[in-house]
A and B are shown apart, each in its own frame.
Chain A
């Protein structure tokens, strides 16, 4: 033990969080404000006495919201620790008690007392009718809950949890709290609201009737009827997409790593394109090519005198669009895994008389199993959650995600119906998640020993190589065709009718003018464009931070309950964006957390949708950094926060950048979650574009998409400049580096 020089009578961290809590309680408005907090306009709205902007203390002093008073008393309790050491059992016990009680009470009063007094009848039974009400929590409440949370974790650290490390315990507490509040709680509330009927009663009967309705589960298409249930449609499509994208991802990964193909980087670049394209844009391009007035359809009908049909609307079109859109994700997962199979495994197989093909089938492929499972799961979830493509291409082939959307925004506004559909969706993805774990089982897929041989991956047998070249070539051509279509389409007056070239669409959406105030963003798209940029730029660093912190805890720390923590984090990967969107609408529309219509809800949904990306990027690169590095820093007297900041973070720079950019890109292209969350004030590019498509204004939609793609290309280019090129000659790569990648995917889902 190093002797600490500090002799402060009160532990500095206790001072910090008590102060934060008191500021929240005494100074800041307790409830949510109508305007942006940071404009500080609330200071002039009768602060601190007016109900709407008053801090909790002032409310209580004025005899209102008296149930808030205990919080203030609890916040003063840490002062009892005056002159007590952290090692003193009393220190830990008191803080745990204060923190836990305060946090629990805060939540309880928040959920218990809402817009119509007591929310739960047992509270009414206990205290009688309450003729007061409260709104969503604001900054004051936020600070106070944070203070209680961290006082509690500090107490736990004081009692010796995780070696008494305040930073680690605090981080764990923080992650658990935010994941609990922003992922699991909304889903639980969604489950709850599935039981509520249109007229506000609870009914299991109605719930089951809806859950097992033939609209969902009908088997009409098998027995000769017109169509099958929505659930079957979604499942069938998702399985197909999962299988095809995995297969194609594998093909590409093999082309790049096992054939001596020289233009691998070109192929990689090409696969980036669909990632930075809002997925439904591909659906749009498919319509332009194969739709009723699509060029290829028209060409065929002219050539062969066939009647153009709407064949592409429905399963075929959806399949094409989703496979094109999600193959790159599978590729990114597969490439790591394919490279990660230790070459000496394959070389060993060869010296054991296995031919190249036998080596591939008996050794390489089985070792890629985790990657295959991962890629399938991602493709499956992406397809399940995809909203844009079914909307533009679905035709009569209804799927869950669009059905959910229409239940929420449609005429009937049936929250319970949406919740039930979302439950079915969630059930499928979680089932896939479990199936994946089951399939991987207990077997080990990573090489077992430490020091490794170097070596090179053997090439594939020639016939097999030619086959995958052909597949990859076709895919490449098709992708290029799609992008040429998008690019060209944005300059065409009206596709299918008038192919003359024009700038009209760009002018209409992105015109800039001058007026007496300076630049005037005249184009119709600017407002949503800037909102999107703003939200994406705010959420990207937060996503990266939370993701990397989680990764750090998972890779570098051991604590009780880590398995559960890891499982929870992994589980959240399997929640489709659509489900997040619906659950946010349901959960954050009412106090205690009232966020609908704000930009915050968009930021939050992005953070928790894209967190998996940050976690995965962090895990991937953190397991490559030798643990002894941070251990040596720790033994040199740095605490774990200093170690994280001084040692781990700098080494993680590439991962940070990757996570940043990736979450930025996802925020720019996402549609499935935010379509439920946008508002007139905060409209996002993607939902704006989908709106144009619905109005058949394809020109504008495509022009806008082209601009988005351009912006993101520029961002990715900047990233490449910032990170620089890394040379990964096989010979110079530590083998355990590649091994560690075997179990790690790249992209997130949603």
Chain B
């Protein structure tokens, strides 16, 4: 029985820029990044920020305008897709409609110098890996969306590529299936130790599957880090807001000592990790879940008026008017007695507020 192995390799971008045709603005602007072998890294960002372009440059479907691209340490900048050891799962799956599922999976193997027997064995192993062992003789048009997606994954996997690319692989699936398939992809990736670059604009999906997330905005990298880094310590208001939701406050750093900043926010004085900030005006972000509502006038709170309370089943959502603008908070204790119009005190949990660096 043939097995699907991994030839995982690292991917490196050195000051890569891509300008399409005659367009003046670059689609990807002077990006440098390093993806370690065996990691699943997500490219996350709003529509049009350059994720697909980045991915296609890894695949060799677009050539970089300037800069260097390395796969497994070798310079592939000028190499076309055919000659790169990279496979891609397309958003539309791009299954060949005139070939059966098996022929689709065998397609790449045929051009990789495998014997007939190896080709058949590997294709079989690949289909079994994605749980479609018995579907080899069907045409893609006879499969459900989720099954098609898995065929596309199998087709890319069996080539044992150095890097496997996914461009929004789940966007054509319904919400439930999406959750299931993304876990499957993650499982296969971890079992085989593949290097995967994964594009999505769904932040929850990114947080769930990634070893690392690269957030892009306007053709540049906004932040690069582990899911926890990005969530707990976003560097900019953009990242804080794009990943989860955040309340952004203008504040003032009065003093920095040994990486601990003293921050003034209205009547409050907070001690926070300084993150290389200097005294002066600054901004901080607080996740809605890390805000506690207390009775009005309680110590270490900001005074505010409860503007709206919404019951959404698993938790309560609040909008509180304060002198710093509207604050959005959530509480998982749904039984708490709060009513719109009530005066409340807005308090922060330990490790709640984070100074923004960007």
Contacts and interface: CB of A to CB of B under 8 A. Distances in A.
Q: Do A and B come from one complex?
A: yes
Most chain A Cβ neighbours within 10 Å, of B60, B80, B90, B165: B90
Contact of B112 (A353, A356, A447): A353
Contact of B145 (A353, A443, A449): A449
Given A352-B159, A358-B111, A448 B95 contact: yes
B350 to A, nearest CB: 44
Contact of A444 (B88, B108, B139, B167): B139
B141 A452 contact: no
Contacts of B87: 351-352
A267 interface: no
A451 B172 contact: yes
A362 interface: yes
A453 B98 contact: no
A220 interface: no
Contacts of B90: 344, 347-348, 453
A154 B267 CA distance: 80
Contact of A449 (B93, B156, B167): B93
Given A350-B80, A350-B82, A455 B108 contact: no
Contacts of B93: 448-449
Contacts of A358: 111
Given A353-B111, A358-B111, A443 B92 contact: no
B10 interface: no
A142 interface: no
Contact of A453 (B92, B95, B107, B141): B92
Contacts, number: 104
Contacts of A452: 91-92
Contacts of A351: 59-61, 81, 84, 86-88, 156, 165
B301 interface: no
Given A350-B80, A353-B82, A448 B141 contact: yes
Contacts of A354: 82, 107-108, 111
Nearest to B91: A453
Interface string B82-112: 1010111011111111100000000110011
B210 interface: no
B171 interface: yes
A449 B86 contact: no
A457 to B, nearest CB: 12
Given A348-B88, A451-B172, A444 B97 contact: yes
Contacts of B86: 351
Most chain B Cβ neighbours within 10 Å, of A352, A443, A447, A735: A352
Interface string B141-175: 10001001000000110010000010100011000
Interface in A130-160: none
B139 A363 contact: no
B108 to A, nearest CB: 3
A447 B104 CA distance: 13
B172 A344 contact: no
A149 to B, nearest CB: 40
Contacts of B112: 353
B91 A355 contact: no
A494 interface: no
A477 to B, nearest CB: 31
B140 interface: yes
Contacts of A366: 96, 98
A345 interface: yes
A281 interface: no
A355 B82 CA distance: 6
A342 B84 CA distance: 22
Contacts of B108: 352-354
Interface string A427-466: 0000000000000000111111111110100000000000
A366 B139 CA distance: 15
B80 A451 contact: no
A367 interface: yes
A345 B112 CA distance: 18
Most chain A Cβ neighbours within 10 Å, of B107, B140, B167: B107
B98 A367 contact: yes
Given A351-B87, A353-B112, A449 B61 contact: no
Contacts of B139: 443-444
Nearest to A356: B82
B92 A362 contact: no
A345 B94 contact: yes
Most chain A Cβ neighbours within 10 Å, of B81, B148, B156, B159: B81
B98 A344 contact: no
A242 to B, nearest CB: 22
Contacts of B98: 366-367, 369, 443-445
Nearest to B143: A448
B159 A353 contact: yes
B92 A347 contact: no
B91 to A, nearest CB: 5
Given A350-B81, A351-B81, A351-B86, A448 B107 contact: no
A279 B81 CA distance: 46
Contact of B92 (A352, A353, A444, A449): A449
Contacts of B165: 351
A524 interface: no
Contacts of A344: 90-92, 94
Interface string B62-86: 0000000000000000001110101
A349 interface: yes
The 3 A-B pairs at the shortest CB distance, nearest first, are namely A352-B108, A348-B94, A350-B81
22 contacts: A342-B94, A347-B94, A348-B96, A350-B60, A350-B82, A351-B81, A352-B87, A353-B159, A354-B107, A362-B107, A363-B96, A366-B98, A367-B97, A369-B98, A444-B98, A444-B141, A446-B97, A447-B94, A449-B148, A451-B172, A452-B92, A453-B90
Given A350-B82, A351-B88, A449-B93, 16 more contacts: A342-B92, A347-B81, A347-B94, A352-B111, A353-B159, A355-B111, A356-B82, A443-B139, A444-B139, A444-B141, A446-B97, A448-B141, A451-B91, A451-B171, A451-B172, A453-B167
